[in-house]
Structure 1
């Protein structure tokens, strides 16, 4: 944080949060705390919590903040992972070590996890008041299972523990805790929003501005941001014209392009696509005058991607395809292969919407040609899988939908397996041993692998019954992405096993000897456009 006498607007908000924290916890019954912010000001709450964790005692708060990011798969696994994480964070603490030496048994319930946390906090009560626990799993297998786990422990939080959650006014996911546990659940609502922080930051920086014109432009641009969010297109355009006039006099082409993009955004929000299209075209015109090549290409790419989206919104698919193709070409010149691939993918999608399959295939071939420069592992991180999904839809839309529905059904069945495993652990006779947990995990993993293979087989049967073009597209994707690809959404192996270790399917699409991708690219090579 800023150690000088002048505090930033974010620091002021962090201080406000600190005072709100202290005020809320004057009530010792408040065991569950939710910090709710505006959707565009989430970073303030994150900054507050990170600061308190990194600098214990900051702002006079006598609590120890700890964030746990371990993934949530099942309730019993998460319960153990949290304790393991506490041991990892404070492995030199004799409180954790002695507790665990005495117990020598697995943790399977959230209440047991809280008991370990309580023991740790009690042992160190001379050093802090409360242990503030922030549960922020990096991944969640089933959101309902996770919230159920939280709900199960919400009424049993020890008096020296505080559970901390963050949500937003747009997605108040922890409201159920406030509703169900009103007696010991507190809400801290951050009053500011992102635009207010932006405005205050500008005024603070403007105090030392030496270039009057630059300061004036930034002030106008700030007004445009605010009007884009809260004003009308007319208000935004009026303010933007002042910024454009100043930028034009100064020869600031990049700044002019930014303002035209904002004008376009205002018109799109109001549903006026023709005016948005005109503004995006002006942004592109300004971008073409930028002398620095890297900036010019960046702004041209942004303008044409946005222009494509505006055309798409009014079903002007031919114009949208042209804009996306231009964006892809700018991206390729800028050396951004990922955006270049996506531009051609979107162009192909637009051609499909206008029922021009040859043009669509040519655009998809361009995307694939660009993808050849990437290692197979990196291709999966681009939108190339969606290129193949689009081609599948071109050849047989109902069959492609059936492949997608397989993934939806698989996810639900996998969640059922996880829930069943949790229930089995809850009904194990005490005392529960590590061998008991291993047996439950083995049953769970066997069930997940069986489900995975069942879904693979179902998808494979759908593929084998497809027409020749459909099967060729799958074969091409398997050569280009990975050998087990069978449509989107992708279904990963439950144990993250590499493809070569997967169980062989009795009936599996035979892979052709020739390179299908190269053949497809050559077939749709038009007038040297892929060279």
Structure 2
């Protein structure tokens, strides 16, 4: 007798049935999968399963394309390149399976347009028609520079129209319904599949189906799935009631780490409802359990203690008690050093300084910031960009000269506006070329676009360097420190990288960099201003 399908496999079958139903209408050319925001991994599993399950639950081939979208012609080029490269890379595997490997369309000439993409995709689908009914490209750009440009590209694709052996796929979620307007514009050509995948229900069913019968671990997994479901959808009281039932089991089994998990889940539920005192009580209960885990030599014990401090600090900040929040973040940083975790030590001290700055305590805030700088100094250089060091340095600039730091920050939106206008102009110019644009005409548009990018970037850099150069000595030392610790062209947050991803030595026109003092004494100060972390009282009212 065959093993029963697990909950994930059952959902894959459900999704396949929805897909097959949606494809029954011959006029459908684009299918929008509408799922809950947390169901992305389930959709990815469904698409992947159609390639590997034998037999697959649909007769169609789904292929994900995550090429970033910048311009319509550039996106078209990226999509065709991705299919071509993927095909060439898989020829060995196809040959082993006894499938033909001489698809000439891989090296065909197609225009850089939506129509060109569809022609190439159709060629692929027709060549392998014995292996698939439809080729179903899943368009999920990793980045989108212009949402309106992407919609225009899809409009052009639907005007083409999409060939019979293709079904383009898009994914949105029930929270934003990103592609609803597209569906309304194109009527029957776009079908929306509402797929109410309940990931918490899947987790609950998976726990119930797990082997072990009535074993404590099996029962606990089911209980924990319920707690997480209520944390997402229920009230704090409901979450607490369910967690307390699970707590009896984990206390009996002396699973200290899971006691921490349950207490922190309930604390999060209370915080969602702005019940600050109750949240703090739960975080402190979680800490007692984490201390017990550490005493029992649990490998994650110290890390769990750190997490309870960060959680409590967030509650104090939410409750608009920045001084208490600062003290608690400092405690979190102290424990992070014991883990050891330099990244969280830096973040705890940064937030401790941020909270004091919110309270108007300039010098104490600066001391905490400088202590965080000391944590960064001790890190391997490659680790620093992975931390919140850039935010820390911007916080220091803001503390020293808030108006100047804000003007530096506002250069970024101005740059983005320049880029958006350049993109819009390039899209309009390429659209006038029609579905079969001449390569030379596109090359001219693209060259002008890149020139405008570099001009906008140079303007931003020049503006920021003037602002930096006008700052006082301490302000400029912080920037010098950033250029030592992060990269030599750092000029503030939000950071704007070179639009063509060029290194500084490759920039066509580097800015006139501001003269900066050596930051060494700033680092010396950081090593001498760290004070003992004050103890946070065990009991306090919010």
- Identify whether the pair has TM-score above 0.5, normalized to the shorter chain: yes
Q: Please list the CA deviations of residues 370-424 of structure 1 after superposition, one character each: whole Å capped at 9, or x if unmatched.
A: 2223343431221000001101111122222211111011112112212222333
Instruction: Report matched runs for 1:170-319 at 5 Å.
Output: 170-205=175-210, 208-209=212-213, 211=215, 213-290=216-293, 291-319=296-324
Q: Does residue 498 of structure 2 align to residue 500 of structure 1?
A: no
Q: Does residue 30 of structure 2 align to residue 27 of structure 1?
A: no
**Number of equivalent positions:** 521
- Identify the residue that residue 51 of structure 1 maps to in structure 2: 49
Q: How far did residue 20 of structure 1 move?
A: 1.3
Partners of 1:383 and 1:95 lie apart in 2 by 50
Partners of 2:54 and 2:111 lie apart in 1 by 28
- Residues 38 and 326 (structure 1 numbering): CA distance in 2 closer, same or farther, change over 3 Å? same
**What SS does the aligned partner of 1:58 have?**
coil
- Identify the residue that residue 74 of structure 1 maps to in structure 2: 71
> Alignment partner for residue 146 of structure 1, among 147, 150, 157?
150
- Residues 191 and 98 (structure 1 numbering): CA distance in 2 closer, same or farther, change over 3 Å? closer
Q: TM-score, normalised by structure 2?
A: 0.89
**What SS does the aligned partner of 1:133 have?**
strand
- Residues 324 and 116 (structure 1 numbering): CA distance in 2 closer, same or farther, change over 3 Å? same
> Alignment partner for residue 108 of structure 1, among 105, 112, 122?
112
> Alignment partner for residue 400 of structure 1, among 383, 405, 427?
405
**What SS does the aligned partner of 2:505 have?**
helix
> Alignment partner for residue 515 of structure 2, among 505, 510, 525?
510
Whether the 8 Å CA contact 1:294–1:334 is kept in 2: the answer is no
Q: How far did residue 249 of structure 1 move?
A: 3.2
> Alignment partner for residue 124 of structure 1, among 123, 128, 132?
128
Whether the 8 Å CA contact 1:73–1:141 is kept in 2: the answer is yes
Q: How far did residue 514 of structure 1 move?
A: 5.3
- Identify the residue that residue 425 of structure 1 maps to in structure 2: 430
Q: TM-score, normalised by structure 1?
A: 0.91
**What SS does the aligned partner of 2:386 have?**
coil
Whether the 8 Å CA contact 1:328–1:344 is kept in 2: the answer is yes
Whether the 8 Å CA contact 2:481–2:519 is kept in 1: the answer is no
**What SS does the aligned partner of 1:35 have?**
strand
Partners of 1:172 and 1:428 lie apart in 2 by 31
Q: Does residue 104 of structure 2 align to residue 97 of structure 1?
A: yes
Q: Please list the CA deviations of residues 76-124 of structure 1 after superposition, one character each: whole Å capped at 9, or x if unmatched.
A: 11112211222222235777525744x3xx6221112112222222333
Whether the 8 Å CA contact 1:345–1:364 is kept in 2: the answer is yes
- Identify the residue that residue 385 of structure 1 maps to in structure 2: 390
Partners of 1:83 and 1:250 lie apart in 2 by 57
**What SS does the aligned partner of 2:138 have?**
strand
Q: How far did residue 431 of structure 1 move?
A: 7.5
Q: Does residue 9 of structure 2 align to residue 11 of structure 1?
A: yes
**What SS does the aligned partner of 2:39 have?**
helix
- Residues 362 and 99 (structure 1 numbering): CA distance in 2 closer, same or farther, change over 3 Å? closer
Over the aligned positions, Cα root-mean-square deviation in angstroms equals 2.5
- Residues 178 and 387 (structure 1 numbering): CA distance in 2 closer, same or farther, change over 3 Å? same
- Once the two structures are overlaid, the 10-residue window that deviates more, 323-332 or 500-509, is 500-509
- In structure 1, the gaps of 5 or more residues are none
Whether the 8 Å CA contact 1:479–1:517 is kept in 2: the answer is no
Partners of 1:219 and 1:527 lie apart in 2 by 44
- Residues 226 and 125 (structure 1 numbering): CA distance in 2 closer, same or farther, change over 3 Å? closer
Whether the 8 Å CA contact 1:217–1:246 is kept in 2: the answer is yes
Q: How far did residue 54 of structure 1 move?
A: 4.1
- Residues 113 and 218 (structure 1 numbering): CA distance in 2 closer, same or farther, change over 3 Å? closer
Q: Please list the CA deviations of residues 183-209 of structure 1 after superposition, one character each: whole Å capped at 9, or x if unmatched.
A: 12112222331221121112112x633
- Residues 472 and 503 (structure 1 numbering): CA distance in 2 closer, same or farther, change over 3 Å? farther
Q: How far did residue 147 of structure 1 move?
A: 2.4
Partners of 1:120 and 1:221 lie apart in 2 by 47
